[in-house]
């Protein structure tokens, strides 16, 4: 082999070595990033989150318009949330909540087929666990990377938290109106009562609002909202909750 061939082989070997080192560094950084999420998941297994990534995003948006704007949110433990609301949410958002391990593949397939027919996203197939992973940790941007990270965090939640804890945190952090987050703030905002005092009809109405809470906060007399509330009311008794 001539000197030129030796030099080319040596250069190729160095490039191969640099490529592997770059890959190892990237893999190490990705692992550290996942461990950072996992550490938070473990911490919030016992500690109640006072805020979430989605709350912080919404607060920033609200304060861009009004610097004094604040989020309405008050944590309440699981036992101080009406069973009506728990059943309504499970019925409306994730009927197989107690049975799946984070993903409802039938619901995902049905959502995909319906969106394909409509030519746009009109239905989601996310479970309560997936929604919690997104709201608690991630931005609201719809990107393939965010969906992949949401799936990883969902697996972390399902592996370390009980279903009761997942539902408790979910009910305390989801958005229920313009700057309104969690069951307690929603109960006070819409009905002047507490999360524990919600009636079956009030709970069904709150559950009906979840897919588009800011819209329904402004349009509380929406005919769709009334129809959806009635459907959820009929399904609630069959819903299984932790």
Please give the pLDDT value at position 28.
Answer: 80
The answer to whether 101 and 166 are in contact (CB under 8 A) is no
Q: From the CB of residue 167, how many other CB atoms can be counted at a distance below 10 Å?
A: 24
175-177/72-73 β-pairing: unpaired
The Cα–Cα gap between 161 and 129 comes to 10
Output the 3-class SS for 123-167: CCCCCHHHHHHHHHHCCCCCCHHHHHHHHHHHHHHHHHCCHHHHH
pTM of the model: 0.87
Tokens coding 114: 């319906």
Query: In b/e form, how buried is each residue of 7-18, taking b as 16+ CB within 10 angstroms?
Result: eeeeeeeeeeee
Cα–Cα separations (whole angstroms), residue 195 to 7, 53, 125: 74, 23, 26
Tens-of-pLDDT digits for all 242 residues of the chain? 555 555 556 666 666 667 667 667 677 887 888 889 999 999 999 999 999 999 999 999 999 999 999 999 999 999 999 999 999 999 999 999 999 988 887 776 776 566 565 554 545 678 999 999 999 998 777 777 888 999 999 999 999 999 999 999 999 999 999 999 999 999 999 999 999 999 999 999 999 999 999 999 999 999 999 999 999 999 999 999 99
The Cα–Cα gap between 82 and 78 comes to 9
Backbone φ and ψ for 50, nearest 5 degrees, come out as -85, -15
| Of residues 76, 241, 94, 92, the one with CA closest to residue 172 | 76
* Residue whose tokens read 């906060």: 217
Which DSSP symbol is given to 181? Answer: E
The Cα–Cα gap between 193 and 114 comes to 37
180-181/72-73 β-pairing: parallel
* Residue whose tokens read 């197989």: 96
The answer to whether 62 and 148 are in contact (CB under 8 A) is no
């Amino acid at each position: 082999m001539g000197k030129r061939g030796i030099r080319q082989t040596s250069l190729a070997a160095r490039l191969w070595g640099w490529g592997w080192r770059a890959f190892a560094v990237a893999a190490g950084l990705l692992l550290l990033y996942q461990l950072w999420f996992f550490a938070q998941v473990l911490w919030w297994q016992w500690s109640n989150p006072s805020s979430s990534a989605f709350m912080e995003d919404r607060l920033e948006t609200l304060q861009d318009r009004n610097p004094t704007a604040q989020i309405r949110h008050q944590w309440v433990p699981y036992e101080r949330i009406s069973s009506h609301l728990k059943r309504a949410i499970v019925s409306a958002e994730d009927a197989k909540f107690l049975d799946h391990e984070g993903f409802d593949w039938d619901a995902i397939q049905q959502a995909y087929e319906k969106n394909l027919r409509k030519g746009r996203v009109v239905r989601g197939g996310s479970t309560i666990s997936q929604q919690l992973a997104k709201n608690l940790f991630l931005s609201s941007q719809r990107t393939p990377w965010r969906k992949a990270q949401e799936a990883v965090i969902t697996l972390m939640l399902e592996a370390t938290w009980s279903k009761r804890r997942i539902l408790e945190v979910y009910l305390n952090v989801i958005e229920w109106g313009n700057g309104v987050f969690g069951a307690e703030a929603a109960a006070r905002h819409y009905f002047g009562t507490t999360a524990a005092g919600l009636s079956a009809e009030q709970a069904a109405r709150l559950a009906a609002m979840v897919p588009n809470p800011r819209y329904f906060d402004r349009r509380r007399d929406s005919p769709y909202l009334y129809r959806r509330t009635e459907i959820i009311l009929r399904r609630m008794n069959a819903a299984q909750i932790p």
